[in-house]
Every structure is written in C-alpha cells, then in structure tokens.
Structure 1
Amino acid sequence: MNICVFCSAADLDDRYVVPAREFAESIGRRGHALVWGGSDTGLMKVMADGVQEAGGKLLGVSVEFLADKTRANADEMVVTKDLAERKAQLLARADAIVVMVGGTGTLDEATEILELRKHGMHSKPVVLLNTAGFYDGLKAQFERMEAEGFLPVPLSELVIFAEDGAGALAHLEAWAAAAG
C-alpha cells in the first residue's frame, strides 16, 4: 500500500519524533511505501529514514521552491511546479492518507483532502494521527461542524482519528483488506 503522510518539515520535540519514527518503521516493516513531501528535513526526514531503514520504499513529491531540500536517495522523486500540482500528485500516488502533526501547510493539505473526499472526488481512507493530543482542538471543531450541520456526510466517513501509529496502520490495513 502507498501511504501518503502529510507532516511537518520542522525539527520537533521528541513527543512527536519518537512516535513518528515508530510509525515509519512499522510502515517499512509491513512492506508499505511512503508517499511524502520529499523533504529531507524535520519530521519528513524522520519518516523517510524510518521507512527506508525498515525496508519500505520512498515516493517523494516536492515543489520547485523546495527542490534543494529533497531527499537524494528516494526511490522516486517528482518535483512539481506549484503546491496545487504537488497535492494532486501526492493524492494520485497514494492508496491512503495519514495526517500527522504539522503547521499550516499540513493543515492545508488535510483540509483539501477532506474536502475532495466529502465531494466524492476520492474514496481513499484518511486518518488523522492525534499524537500527544495535537489535534484535540481540531477534532472538537470537526465534531461541532457535524453536530451543527456543516458536514453533509458523517464525520466518520471523512476521517478516522487515531491516537497512535499502530491504530492508524491497523485501520488502513483493515480498509485495504476489505477493499480486496
């Protein structure tokens, strides 16, 4: 399975790095590929290192203005013209999406993926990995949107919240098995 992971390219605290590394190693050990923003910095690097060292493949999709930060030894690296093309390529190459901790770029990617799913533009599973409660506030906001009628489909059909990488991977593998 090609698992697209949206996450930060920033250097982060161990409360985010350690679980990310464990998740990455699980992806690689279980024979999955990482589809990611292609960066060799921050949490993106942690994910790429863990997947690659555990035997998984790396499929990077970067953007021209960040091309100098791409990982040299990825199995595949695509450099797009702009962020819109990058997001489209990431989605096209993925079988499933996991949103990890990140800033505005990660949030932009997450909301676009969810909006496309809401409108039936893709049916790939989306998991929001709530490491150390990072997305508690966003989860509460989504629940409020659902309760007040802002979502035309149940929240559970748009996104699954997982507290750890094992839970995220279990959900994705169960989805893949059911999809056959």
Structure 2
Amino acid sequence: GGGGAKLSVEGERVLRLYQRVQALQAQVLEAAEDSSDLDLLNRLTLRTSARNQLLGRIVSITRQGHNDQVRLQLAGEVFIEAQVTHDSTLRLELENGTEVVALIKAGWLELHADNSEETNGNNCLIGRIDNVTDAEDGPSEVRITLPGGQTLCAMATPEHLHAQQLKSGATVQARFAASLVLLGIPM
C-alpha cells in the first residue's frame, strides 16, 4: 500500500497541465521534419535572464507617435504600464484582453520606502520584502511579494537599503519606467 497522499485541487491542475504539455511536446517532435525545425523551435521557446516575469492582461493600448503605452493588469488589481513600439504591438498582435508576460530585469527596479513620494511617469509597485540576501562584493538581492502573490526580485546596495530603512517584513515601493518593461506573449 501507498501512503494515501492526495493532491490538492491546484496540484491536480498542475499535473493535468504537465501531462498536456508532454503530449504537445511529443506531437511537435513527431512533426519536426529535420534538425532545422528543432533549431527554430529552440529559438521560439526562449529563456531569459530577466528575473521578473509578471503575468498580466492588457487593459488598454494608447498610441503615442511611434510608441504605444500598454496598460497591464496583474493579479490582485495591480497595474503597470509598458512602452513598446507600435510595430511591436502589431507584430505581437497585442490588443485588449491579450495575456502577456512583462519582463523586468532586477537591476532596473529602484527601491524606496513606502512613505516616499512617487515619481511621476514611473510604475510604482508596492509590496512586502520577504528576504534580503547580502553579497560580499556587490548589491543585495531583495525578494518582494506583491498583493496578488507575484514576486519581484530587485538589487540594491546595503547602504541604500539601510538609508531607506528597507529590511525583511518592510513595505517597499519598486519603481521602474514603462520603457524598461519588455512584453512577451505565451506561445
């Protein structure tokens, strides 16, 4: 007999998703006619160095010359703005309701105490610091949980964290320009 372990509803959902992905992978590999097809697939299923990959849904797109200002709703009624070229909007077929992944490098986030004045024109996400990991010869890694449960990773010097009184458990503002948000669409 087994231990009688039972998966949660979420665990069952993840298991079904994994099984579907395995089946799709098998179909894709069978359909690949030669190695150049597989090389192309590898480029399409890209991994990135961006530590922050936030899932969101587009709620508005505003044209601004050659650029578009794209407003995203993340989990927990959290909103951010991304600035992309109009060509990118067309190429990615972005429209209201499209699910996207917002990519933001950890070093692009500026951390400020919760009571700091917001900077106009910048995104400002408010979260709770879960963990600060110091490094011997560089910036500290700061893990932040947002209201919707998504997490951010930021880099900041210990001196900056001390000056802003930012430590584990503290509420923090993570600011970044819309032009620093890269958008990707799930395949």
Scaled to the shorter chain, the TM-score interval is: under 0.3
Query: Which is greater in Rg?
Result: 2
**Which structure features the higher share of strand residues?**
2
Scaled by the length of structure 1, the TM-score of the pair is: 0.26
